[in-house]
Chains A and B, each alone.
Chain A
C-alpha cells in the first residue's frame, strides 16, 4: 500500500490520544521502515535521582512504531493486533534528550508480521533499547472479519 506520509503523520498525533499525550512525532515511514521521536519532558522521568526516563515511554515509542512500520507493506483495510513485544534495555537513556526509534518489518506471512526496532538518542549505532515484535494480521479479503486491532491505513495505534 502506498502511504500518504503527511496524512499519516497528522493522523498519528491529533486523533490518537496517547500519541498526542507523549508528543510522538512520526519522522518517516516507507517500505524500509519507520522513524519517530518522543520529546524529552520532565514528567517522563522514571528515576528522579538520575533524571533517566522511565522504560514505559520507550515501550510506548517502540510499540507504536513496530506496528506502524508494517503498514506500508499491507493492503488497505488489513487489521493487526500485537501478539508480543520484547524489549531489551541496553543502557540507560541520557537525561534531558529526545528519544528516537527506528522500526522495520523483516518478515510477513499470511497471518503474522515480525518486526525489529531500536531506540536511540544521539546515534543509531549506539541504541538504548532493542525490540522484537510479532503481530497478528487479518487481511482485508476475508469478508465479515471484525477482529480487534487497528485498521492499517487509518488507525495506526
Chain B
C-alpha cells in the first residue's frame, strides 16, 4: 500500500492503523494508534530492543524522540484532510525523566495550522498520564 492509500484508507475508516502498516519504520517500532474521543494516542509497546540504558533500565532517548515525532505526525494527519504525508522541518525534544521499561504513549496537539506549516506539540507518558517523561515541539511542512 502506498502512503497516500494508507492515509486515505485511514481517513475513510477513522482507523489510523492502515497508515501504520504502510510505514516500515512504524511497523518495526511496533507502533499502534488508539483513538480516545477526538484524540489519537500513539502507543509504543515495550520491547527489549528499545532499551538504551540497561542499568536503569531506560528507553533509548532516540526511541522517545521517534515516538514523539511519530505521534505529532499522526495527530496532524488526523487533523488534516489531504492524503499527503506532512514533512518534518524540525523537532525539539525535552527529556523530563528517563522512560522506563514499559509501554509508552504519546499524542500531538496541533497548536497552529497555517497554509504551509503546522506547529504541533507532543507529549509522552507511561503508566500515569499526569507524569510526562518527554515533550516535543515540532514544525511540519504541509503543502
Residues of A within 8 A of B (CB): 15-21, 42-49, 53-57, 59-64, 67, 81-89, 92, 148-151, 155, 157
In Å, the complex CA distance between A83 and B59 comes to 15
B52's closest neighbor in chain A, by CB?
A157
A87 CB to closest chain B CB (Å) equals: 5
Q: Return chain A residues, CB-CB under 8 Å to B59.
A: 18
Q: Return chain B residues, CB-CB under 8 Å to A59.
A: 62, 65-66, 69, 91, 93
In Å, the complex CA distance between A15 and B53 comes to 9
B140 CB to closest chain A CB (Å) equals: 10
CB pair A63 B90 closer than 8 Å: no
In Å, the complex CA distance between A45 and B60 comes to 19
In Å, the complex CA distance between A47 and B1 comes to 11
In Å, the complex CA distance between A150 and B63 comes to 16
B3 at the interface (CB under 8 A from A): yes
CB pair A148 B97 closer than 8 Å: yes
CB pair A85 B53 closer than 8 Å: no
CB pair B94 A83 closer than 8 Å: yes
CB pair B60 A46 closer than 8 Å: no
Residue of B26, B51, B70, B97 ringed by the most chain A CB atoms within 10 A: B51
B13 CB to closest chain A CB (Å) equals: 19
CB pair A54 B49 closer than 8 Å: no
In Å, the complex CA distance between A157 and B64 comes to 13
CB pair A88 B56 closer than 8 Å: no
A147 CB to closest chain B CB (Å) equals: 10
A53 CB to closest chain B CB (Å) equals: 8
Q: Return chain A residues, CB-CB under 8 Å to B18.
A: none
